[in-house]
Copies of this chain bind each other. A is one copy, B any other.
Amino acid sequence: MESPIVQAASRARAASRSVATLSTERKDALLLDLSARIERSRDAILEANARDIHAATIAGLPAPKLARLRLTPESVTQLGASLRSVAALPDPVGQVTRELVVQSGMIVRRVRTPLGVVCMIYEARPGVTIDAFALCFKAGNACILKGGKEARSSNESLASIARETLVAHSIDPAALTVISDITKPDLEELLQQDQFIDLVIPRGGVELIRYVARTSRIPTIQHYQGVNHAFVDASANPEMALKICATGKTSAPATCNALECVLVHRDIAPAFVPALIKAYLDAGVEVRADASARSYCDGLEGRVTSARDTDFGHEFLDLIIALRVVDSMDAAIAHIHQHGSHHTEAIITSDASNAAEFTQRVQASCVLVNASTRMNDGFQLGLGAEIGISTSKIHAYGPMGLEELTTTRFVVQGDGQTR
């Protein structure tokens, strides 16, 4: 007798075979219908969410986690809108990415094909349940979604609407499996089902990601933290640099593309550092500066913290910024090699050759010249939507959109070639 975990994974594999061959029209029709059904079910969804919020409040969930758990009438409307936008994206499945006639006369095509079954493990953010299903489904995959247990009622409400919609469209409802709560042994068993699951995407804390990478026998794409730097080169436009550094921290400090450390070239430091520190302090940002940066504090010394070594290479996810003055771009790059997390790195410069050298030498999923690290985002980079930002170099590096939820295979037309 198979365990419920093995049964669920095996059903997802079977469903993935039929989802893989659905036409674009049928997939889009399902997504549009699901959008309408979610909007019609808004009250029931909000009621389920209220139960989760109630239980989480009693359990003492911290405020930022409560905020991510909460659905509002607007966020439900937004879910419907994002389903419509996924329906409007081009279908990657079947796209021919390369075609050539080889010497033997065979026509060799590389064709985008679904991954199969994608398993995502994430926090208590009910909106992700629908977004992740929509992207996996449009890319021709079945998915197994394990959201945070605090979102149990919300996720079950959303999942039951999605599965009803699948049934109404005569599509195997095992295309979506939502797991609200799971014991540790069951999770371990799930992560061993490499014959049924093709990819695991853990999103969340470093501990969770490390646990999954260690435990899983299935390929894993890791969405690690962003220890993101901005290097303000000697030739930087100071107004532009100020705006990029300030908003990089303040516009959404808890996101993975937020700025965590500013490196300032010493030639621009005397004028730039005081202005930057003032901007941060005015915005309520704690500044942790090295000795050299503090020497330019301009009467604000008492309001600036001395940076400790551990403040560099740290993801604060809060209104805290590390600040260092460096002697050269070389020193900035060496700092990033040592402390960066391969997520997002930026240079602000007016010197094209420095921009070219920085983008060539710095290792990160996204390297920006004269733009905020906050622009490393699937929508901002033109992918249309994203399921997260990968810091794995394998398969997907940077925001993962629809294409990254597919692979390519070779489809060959011959006329009797042998060897």
A217 touches B213 (CB 8 A): yes
Indicate if A198 sits at the interface (CB-CB under 8 A): yes
Q: How many copies does the complex hold?
A: 2
Looking at chain A's contact residues, the main secondary structure is mixed
Q: What is the CB-to-nearest-CB distance from A375 to chain B, in angstroms, rounded to a whole number?
A: 6
Q: A248–B407 Cα gap in the complex (Å)?
A: 27
Which chain B residue has the least Cβ–Cβ distance from A111? Answer: B359
What bracket does the count of chain A residues touching chain B fall in? Answer: 35 or more
A222 to B, closest residue via Cβ:
B219
A400 to chain B, nearest CB (A): 12
> Which B residue's beta carbon lies closest to that of A194?
B213
Could you give, for residues 194-221 of chain A, a 1 whenever the CB lies within 8 Å of some chain B CB and a 0 otherwise?
A: 1000110000000000000110010111
Distance in angstroms between the alpha carbons of A355 and B414 in the assembled complex: 11
The 8 closest A-B pairs by CB, nearest first: A371-B414, A395-B395, A366-B410, A372-B418, A219-B394, A371-B417, A247-B418, A240-B416
Please give me the residue from chain B that is nearest to A104 by CB atom.
B380
Q: Are B244 and A418 in contact (CB under 8 A)?
A: yes
Q: A374-B419, A375-B104 are in contact. Are A365 and B412 (CB under 8 A)?
A: no
CB < 8 Å neighbour of A381 from B102, B243, B418: B102
- Cα–Cα, bound, A359→B417 (Å): 17
Query: Taking A100-B382, A376-B410, A409-B398 as contacts, is the C-beta distance between A416 and B370 under 8 angstroms?
Result: yes
Q: Which residues of B contact A237 (CB under 8 A)?
A: 416
Contact flags A117-160 to B (C-beta < 8 A → 1, else 0): 00000000000000000000000000000000000000000000
CB contact between A217 and one of B214, B418, B419 (< 8 Å): that residue: B214
Q: Please name the residue on chain B nearest to A97 by beta carbon.
A: B97
- Max chain B Cβ within 10 angstroms of own Cβ: one of A113, A367, A412: A412
CB nearest to A368 among chain B residues: B412
Complexed CA–CA distance, A375 and B416 (Å)? 11
Contact of A180 with B by CB under 8 A? no
How far apart are the CA atoms of A278 and B356 in the complex, in Å?
A: 65
Contacts of A219 in B (CB 8 A): 219-220, 392-395
Report yes or no: A368 in contact with B21, Cβ–Cβ below 8 A: no
**The residue from B395, B413, B416 contacting A243, defined by CB atoms under 8 A apart:** B416
- Is A309 among interface residues, defined by CB-CB distance under 8 A? no
Contacts of A116 in B (CB 8 A): 363, 393
In the complex, A355 Cα to B412 Cα: how many Å? 10
List 15 additional A-B contacts (Cβ < 8 Å) besides A359-B411, A375-B419: A106-B375, A108-B382, A219-B392, A240-B415, A247-B418, A366-B409, A366-B411, A367-B410, A371-B418, A375-B414, A375-B418, A381-B412, A394-B395, A394-B407, A397-B409
Please, which residue of chain B has its CB at the minimum distance from the CB of A397?
B407
